[in-house]
A and B are shown apart, each in its own frame.
Chain A
């Protein structure tokens, strides 16, 4: 693959993707917020904000009593999210890129740790995809968007891992593919359920706020 394409994805391509991601996501979040909700006229027993913030935080750490299939979803979900975030934020190349743009960074994790995180995340994603096909509940809920977003999240992980381990194509080709796949993800994310990377916290706030208002510590 030629040099020019790589230059484009690293330059203009990345700029476009970033712009779409930031503007699209802001639009999405604002659009939701501006729909508003009616304040309750009932007498509060507790605080909306306390409840909202508590749920925003606590819902990240729950392991409810679940049957086998639920437990599988929760564990595979955690492995994927944690693995994905580790490779995204703690690979030295990613931090270098960040430092080049913003002027500061943070220590990277050793390559071995990144490798394990990436493999686990890839494995969890494949397992979740298979589960989406065989589990009757997930099958009923799934549609085109679920498979699209799965693919778009999977490609950066896969190409990134291939790049690190020199698998498949030559270095520059892989680098181009990796960056392009990330850009695709960034462009599509605001307009699909991938927006949950931000809206999850809003959903939790709304849910927790009602409970906080009623004085329910849940």
Chain B
């Protein structure tokens, strides 16, 4: 057995805890999880059945943790997990799973399949079977500080631009601020409008905040590839910056997986609780709205709908907040079928967007989003994850659909009361 395979198997076995063993023990092979996964529904290919994506891990569990499995292994009747098999499973574990969490809500016996895929990836990456695109993104994140290669220089240029546009100062490295804002790579690279938007909102709401020059990027490819060590490294920068600046809160950006990384996985990755709290930008905006610190004075009459990022609703619990905010500025807001906890993934979560090999499949399964959108005939699609935003723009363009996409924070900023100065025209 090669050392990398050995490492992979050891890692996989170490991932088997009470929930994983219970889930494998309980699966009745009913196949219902297939119906909840867009990779199955849009292709009808049985290999995309969620629980099937875990087959090598299931056999390891059976061989090491069950009576019959151990017996069969002793007498040489069980099929060992091989390098070839893991290589064959790589596209199933990475390309056809966005860690969207839908299957975990559908399984009748209650299996949290997404939890297992996340764990299976730890073994896959340890055995060397992770997609090149995701490996590259993670390597860039470790070496250059960002999966998309943005750096402090890029950020400073965007800050300068935002300051010129708003006529306000964008605070950087302000010690003792209440909130430290983190951005996603995509925001710094492709959607810098967000910096102007939060600057104006926080000015109006009188929020004490800052960006940090040594921890401004929340995208965590370490989690997506499934390496807790690398994920901890990447996350450590934010924790370090927040501790250095002694902030009370870290604001997670409009990026679903960054929220999961910061809010739920983070303390477990670094092995200790944070000395600060984590809040999603949309949660914060909704708090400001309900305490009447965030005021809007105009509305957008466009027929619009909201795409719930998986990591915000199903895996994150931020469900009502975006709707409260939308109600304030969008009188013609309509819900797509399955909106909220059951919303369908954009197709590019969980590292799929960084994995070039997965592109064709991702574009194929966009058909689900397309039909959801067609059902409501909206002209504007609002979301609160910059990765979803890119995936949606891509899918809409390829399907020649005439729908615009905007981030919720920007939409709110466009309607702030008294925003005459610096309003983006």
The stretch among B14-22, B172-180, B382-390 that forms the contact with chain A is B14-22
User: Secondary structure at chain A's binding surface: helix, strand, loop or mixed?
Assistant: helix
Determine whether the beta carbon of A196 is less than 8 Å from that of B28: yes
Q: Is B411 an interface residue (CB 8 A)?
A: no
| Interface bits B94-118 vs A (CB < 8 Å: 1, else 0) | 0000000000111111111001000
Determine whether the beta carbon of A42 is less than 8 Å from that of B264: yes
In the docked arrangement, what's the CA distance between A217 and B313, Å? Answer: 10
Given contacts A193-B28, A196-B26, A206-B18, contact A40 B108 (CB under 8 A): no
| Cβ-defined partner of B17 (8 Å) among A31, A37, A55, A73 | A37
Determine whether the beta carbon of B30 is less than 8 Å from that of A77: yes
| Interface bits A199-213 vs B (CB < 8 Å: 1, else 0) | 111111111101100
Determine whether the beta carbon of B29 is less than 8 Å from that of A193: yes
| Interface bits A72-89 vs B (CB < 8 Å: 1, else 0) | 011001000000000000
* Interface residues contributed by chain A, number (CB under 8 Å): 59
Nearest A residue to B265 by beta-carbon distance? A42
B217 to chain A: closest CB distance in Å? 20
Determine whether the beta carbon of A199 is less than 8 Å from that of B18: no
Nearest A residue to B104 by beta-carbon distance? A207
In the docked arrangement, what's the CA distance between A201 and B25, Å? Answer: 12
Given contacts A42-B266, A203-B26, contact A65 B338 (CB under 8 A): yes
Q: Which residues of A contact B105 (CB under 8 A)?
A: 64, 218
Q: Which residues of A contact B264 (CB under 8 A)?
A: 40, 42, 214
Q: Is B272 an interface residue (CB 8 A)?
A: yes
A55 to chain B: closest CB distance in Å? 6
Q: Which residues of B contact A218 (CB under 8 A)?
A: 105, 314, 341
Nearest B residue to A36 by beta-carbon distance? B18
Q: Which residues of B contact A40 (CB under 8 A)?
A: 264, 267-268
Q: Which residues of A contact B338 (CB under 8 A)?
A: 65
Q: Which residues of B contact A62 (CB under 8 A)?
A: 108
Q: Which residues of B contact A211 (CB under 8 A)?
A: 317
The stretch among A15-23, A97-105, A131-139, A155-163 that forms the contact with chain B is A131-139
Q: Is B149 an interface residue (CB 8 A)?
A: no
Q: Is B184 an interface residue (CB 8 A)?
A: no
B75 to chain A: closest CB distance in Å? 16
Q: Which residues of A contact B35 (CB under 8 A)?
A: 64, 66-67, 69-70
Determine whether the beta carbon of B29 is less than 8 Å from that of A207: no
Q: Is A130 an interface residue (CB 8 A)?
A: no
In the docked arrangement, what's the CA distance between A22 and B274, Å? Answer: 45
Determine whether the beta carbon of A37 is less than 8 Å from that of B315: no
Q: Which residues of A contact B23 (CB under 8 A)?
A: 203, 206
Q: Which residues of A contact B40 (CB under 8 A)?
A: 137
Q: Is B31 an interface residue (CB 8 A)?
A: yes
Nearest A residue to B19 by beta-carbon distance? A206
Determine whether the beta carbon of B317 is less than 8 Å from that of A138: no
Determine whether the beta carbon of B112 is less than 8 Å from that of A32: no
**Which range contains the number of B residues in contact with the other chain?**
35 or more
Determine whether the beta carbon of B31 is less than 8 Å from that of A35: no
Given contacts A41-B267, A138-B30, A146-B29, contact A55 B110 (CB under 8 A): yes
Q: Is B161 an interface residue (CB 8 A)?
A: no
Q: Which residues of A contact B263 (CB under 8 A)?
A: 42
| Interface bits A166-200 vs B (CB < 8 Å: 1, else 0) | 00000000000000000000000001010110011
Determine whether the beta carbon of A74 is less than 8 Å from that of B316: no
Q: Is A28 an interface residue (CB 8 A)?
A: yes
Q: Which residues of B contact A67 (CB under 8 A)?
A: 35, 41
In the docked arrangement, what's the CA distance between A55 and B46, Å? Answer: 27
Determine whether the beta carbon of B22 is less than 8 Å from that of A74: no
In the docked arrangement, what's the CA distance between A188 and B34, Å? Answer: 28
Determine whether the beta carbon of B21 is less than 8 Å from that of A32: yes
Q: Which residues of B contact A210 (CB under 8 A)?
A: 112, 115
Q: Which residues of A contact B111 (CB under 8 A)?
A: 203, 207
Determine whether the beta carbon of B46 is less than 8 Å from that of A137: yes
Residues of B404-423 contacting chain A, CB below 8 A: none
In the docked arrangement, what's the CA distance between A137 and B43, Å? Answer: 12
B21 to chain A: closest CB distance in Å? 5
5 residue pairs of the A-B complex, CB under 8 angstroms, read A64-B35, A66-B32, A140-B47, A141-B52, A215-B317
6 other A-B residue contacts (CB within 8 Å) besides A40-B268, A77-B108: A35-B16, A141-B29, A146-B29, A199-B26, A203-B19, A216-B314
